[in-house]
Structures are given as structure tokens and as C-alpha cells.
Amino acid sequence: MASGSRGTGTCAAAQADKGHTLEISVVSNEARAMHNVGLAGLTFWSPNINIFRDPRWGRGQETPGEDPLLTSKYAVGYVTGLQGAVSGAGALKVAACCKHYTAYDVDNWKGVERYTFDAVVSQQDLDDTFQPPFKSCVVDGNVASVMCSYNQVNGKPTCADKDLLSGVIRGDWKLNGYISSDCDSVDVLYNNQHYTKTPEDAAAISIKAGLDLNCGTFLAQHTVAAVQAGKLSESDVDRAVTNNLVTLMRLGFFDGDPRELPFGNLGPSDVCTPSNQELAREAARQGIVLLKNTGKLPLSATSIKSMAVIGPNANASFTMIGNYEGTPCKYTTPLQGLGANVATVYQPGCTNVGCSGNSLQLDAATKAAASADVTVLVVGADQSIERESLDRTSLLLPGQQPQLVSAVANASSGPCILVVMSGGPFDISFAKSSDKIAAILWVGYPGEAGGAAIADVLFGYHNPSGRLPVTWYPESFTKVPMTDMRMRPDPSTGYPGRTYRFYTGDTVYAFGDGLSYTSFAHHLVSAPKQLALQLAEGHACLTEQCPSVEAEGAHCEGLAFDVHLRVRNAGERSGGHTVFLFSSPPAVHNAPAKHLLGFEKVSLEPGQAGVVAFKVDVCKDLSVVDELGNRKVALGSHTLHVGDLKHTLNLGV
């Protein structure tokens, strides 16, 4: 689910935590195996848990999506899988790192670069949207490291902000580990942002703020001079060095012969095992999102004599593993995956995903489509379109890809299937509404086995169950400056807000969208209709009309309820189904229109039913963040959503 040598390059589905942790534990097994033969370290600066706030962000492909709760769950599962459960207090299998702290999601948009960008963020948005994944990573995941980002937040470089580092990460959240800079970010705050007058000042302010490790050479060059000038004490340096050395101790660096320690028996034979390669294929299968199906899918391999496989990503290999990639065991391209099932004819349609100028090759592509029983178009992006240091300016398919898609679809003699391979979303409204396009799938960057997984879904060997982790906006959204960090809409200016929680405009596809080859029915078994908070005697809200009460204190202790749902597979195929529980709170404190409370995945045979249970902690799950950044429990009517089901819960005092 995160970028890696064999996992999917984008989290394209909300999966159960256990499955995600299992996948990442395989990654950490291979990391230890490679370490044991001198080919890997043990500190992994991953995961990226920034919120995918804007669809144009080049690094959105590294993240699990736009929702704070989903990102928080992902962070904890990822970190737990990497760091493992090793005997000994605080021992680590691998040291994970949650990055980039905080409010970092502009890389290079129309000349605005991350190195000098000041993210102006309200306290409400900071605590409601940007901080929760990092808090979960530290508090619930016990991560070994947090990386501060390049950007400033409200005029301060994050790596020099004592409130954010010492105050929040180490003070409020009790980080057991070290705080690292992003690479050269201390140099950046001096040379690019001109935040301090001297390099010694930059070294001093960063270390005193709580920074322990500098990725780069800046602190090595200037810390001694900062101490000699009296700008920094040796005790400050000792603290930073201690935090770094303790992490090495927890990894076992000083415990003797590595072969005699936990995981010392792992080696090259534990890398690229058949089960690990199958896990890569399964991860890719589960990440595929079916967005449109007019009934032509799944395909029957026995009834297809010829298939046209067309598009700039139709024979993609390296593209499939996204960025920050490892070395794959082997590739199965879409063309290879499909060709293992039926006879294929291949045409790229464009010489590259940019599909500009003379690179469009329509004649050959349309001829292939016209003579085939079925056409599969594989389009989208690669790292030339979206990547670190490159944000997009458009949400349309790159270059002349839309013309390619339309021409091929119109020429196809049989069903035309559109497969979009990308990290970020696209405005494919024309394809969604076209009666010439029978089905649409989004596959993210699906990893080394992506082509096999695509074939598994198209031919019905696997019933798709992925869900979109981000909103797919129309091209008109690009009128909104990427640099506007506000999450909430502003009706007075027409600002539409961001992400499914706040966005008020039209969508191409919504967060959580995703179809199956079967259908699922939901039935509410039990949930309360009324709950009361037992406030302490003399509490102001017992005599006054309050929109909300504080989400902490004795009235929150043990205040929880269960929601039980019956989910039935009403179709003719077995399949997996992710059940999302949303809540729409009362309209106080500019609260989200709705927000995710939890998700569970079930697998059901045709006609089979199962019960899904959610435990809702009232003060944690039903609270909202007020204008000052404080968590409050909104009083009044809360609407719980599951699919088309709605249930009203009245919360009073």
C-alpha cells in the first residue's frame, strides 16, 4: 500500500489494519535480510503520512489519501509492521519514521517551491486535519522517528519550531525516539528562507527546538562554532546525540554478533520468496478500484480470440513501482498479464505518457481496436508527470491522451476498458459519461505484479474491492490556488473547501467510491438513538445552551456505544467489501459535512451475511475541533452513515 519494491505505489483501498501490518512485516523481514548481508540499513524514513489535500500534489502518490482517520490507521499499521515485536524493552526490528511534519503538501507548483513556501494554516485546520496522523503515529504506533519538513508553518520553519518539536512531538505526544530534518532542511532555512542571520544561529535554533538529527552536512559544519559562540550548550548537543544513539541501541547495533540476535538468520533466501511475490500480487489486486462497469466485466478468457492492449502505460514496468522504489523481483506488465490469458495485439498509442506533439499514433491504435474482440486502454501518468519537486497544474489526462482514449473507444468493435495508472486523480468525466467505454479502473502504481493483478480483476479471478482514498475533482478545481491551505469552504468568496469532509463542489468520483462484481446490502441491527453526557455538578452547560462541551474530563470516561450492522452479499459472486461508518455532526464550529469514524472489511460468499461491529468512543470519535484547535463534543443531532443507511443519534446533557 505504500511505495516499495513490490507493494502498490498508492493506497487505493481502505483495508483492514491486520492485513496491512502483515504486508509491511514482510517488508521488514526483507529489510533485515538485506541488512544482514550489508545491503540495507535499519532506519527507514517511511511512511509519508501527509494528507493528500490537493489533487495536484506530486507526492500524493506516496500517501494513503485525504482522510485523517484512514491516514492515522495506515500510519499505525505501517509502523507496527516495520518496527515489529522484538523481545526486550523498546527493541526495534526496523526503525520507522513518520514524515513530513507538518502541513507539507506543496512541492513545486507554478514556481512556488517547498523550500520557501509558508503554509498559512489555522489552528483549527492544523489540529483537525494535518496533525492527527502524526499524533497516532507517535502515540499509538510508538514510531522511532519523526521527520520535520522543508516548509514553514505560519512563518516558522518546522525544523526550528520549538512548539511543534519539543512542545508537541516530544512534550505532548512523548516521542520515544529521535527527530530528523528532511534532507538539507536546516541548510534551507538559512540559505533559502533566510530565517537566521548566521549558519551558527540556524544550527542553534534547530537543535534547541528539538531537532536531533540533520540529514545533510549543515550541523556537522556549524554546530561546534555555535557552541563556541555560546549560542548552543553542550547539553543541547548531548540530548540530540543521546536520542540518536538510543535508537541504534534499540536496533541492536551494540549487542554483539548480529547472527546471534533476533532476525540474524535472515538472508538472501528470505527475499523475493514465492509467498512474498504472491503477497505483492494480492496487494495490487486489493488496491484496484473499479469505477465504472456497464456489465461487460468480468471478461471471459475463453470467448476472446483477440484483445487490443493500447496506451502509453500498456507495457509499463518501472512506472508501476512509483517513486522511492526498491528493486523488484521481476515485473509483470499489463501487456504480459493480459497476454497470459488471451492473444493480444499491442499498440502504445503515444510514445510516452506526455503524449504531446507528434507522439500520438492514432492510426495504428484505432486499427488494432477495430479488429479486436476487446480493447484495454492503459493510460495515466508516471514520474515525468507527478513526482517529488513536481506538482501538476491540470487534472486532465496528460497531453493528447484524451484524444487517444476517445478515438480508440469510438473505433473499438467490442467492449473498451479504460485502465488509469497514476498516483493522483484525473478528471475523466468524458470517459465516465461515454457509452463507448464499458468500464473504468484505477490501479494506482500497482507494484511489480501490477499487470498480473489487472488481468486477475478483468477476467474475474479476483472480485475488485478497492475504494478511492481521495476525491476526484473536475478540472475547474484547478482555479483554486494550490497554496491556499484552508480546508473549510468560504461561501462569501466561492472557495469550495477541500477533501470530501469539506468540499462543496461537484466531483468526478467521490472518496470511498468503488464497485464490485457483486452487490452488498446493509441492515442496521442496533445503535442508540439517544445518549447523554453526565456533566459535573455546576457545569455551565447544565444551565446554559451550549453548542458543544469539551472532549475530555470525567464525563468522557467510558462513554461509548456499539453500532452493529448486518452485511449480506446479495449477488452471485463471492467478494470483499469495506464497510465505512461516517458521521455528520451538528453544524457547529464549522464542522465537517461528514467524517470517517471507522472501516472494516468483510469477505462474503453469495447469499452469505455477516455482522460488522463498530465501537464508537463518543468524545474521541464524535468530537470536532473548534476554532481555537480544541476538541469539543457537539451537542445535538449526529447522523451516522453506512452506504445508503442513515441513523440519527441525539447527543445531549
Contact 558, 552 (CB under 8 A): no
Distances (CA, A) of 513 to 111, 378, 508: 33, 20, 10
The active-site residue, picked from 105, 128, 161, 182, is: 182
Q: Before 298, cis peptide (omega within 30)? A: yes
CB atoms within 10 A of CB 231: 21
Element (H, E) at 221: helix 218-228
Q: Grid cell 464490485 — which residue?
A: 516
Longest dimension (CA), the chain: 80
- Buried b or exposed e, range 181-214, using 16+ CB within 10 angstroms: bbebbbbbbbebbebbeebbbbbbbbbbbbbbbb
Q: Which residue has the cell 538468520?
A: 265
For the packed helices 234-250 and 199-209, what is the interaxial angle rounded to 10 degrees?
Answer: 60
Output the CA–CA distances (angstroms, integers) from residue 417 to 406, 457, 604, in the order listed: 12, 12, 27
CB-based contact 440:291 (threshold 8 Å): yes
- What is d(CA 561, CA 548) in angstroms, rounded to the nearest whole number? 19
* CA dist list (Å): 535 to 31, 589, 626: 51, 21, 19
Cα atoms in the Cβ-side hemisphere of radius 13 Å centred on 394:
9
- Please report which helix (H) or strand (E) contains residue 200, including its range: helix 199-209
Residue located via cell numbers 468493435: 413
Question: What's the one-letter identity of residue 472?
Answer: W
Instruction: Report residue 63 as a C-alpha cell.
Output: 500517501
Distance from the first to the final alpha carbon of the chain: 42
182 is catalytic: yes
Count the neighbouring beta carbons within 10 Å of the beta carbon of residue 12.
29
Distance CA 187, CA 35 (A): 30
> How many other C-beta atoms can be found within 10 angstroms of the C-beta atom of residue 243?
22
Place of cell 496491512: 20
Phi (first) and psi of residue 233, to 5 degrees: -95, 155
| DSSP assignments along 412-458, one per residue | -SS-EEEEEE-SS----HHHHH-TT--EEEE--S--TTHHHHHHHHH
Q: Which helix (H) or strand (E) covers residue 247, if one does? A: helix 234-250
362-370 and 401-411 helices cross at what angle (nearest 10)? 30
Are 535 and 542 spatial neighbours (Cβ–Cβ below 8 Å)? yes
Tell me the residue ranges of DSSP E strands in 74-204. 98-101, 108-109, 112-113, 118-119, 145-148, 152-153, 156-157, 178-181
Q: Which residues are part of the catalytic machinery?
A: 182
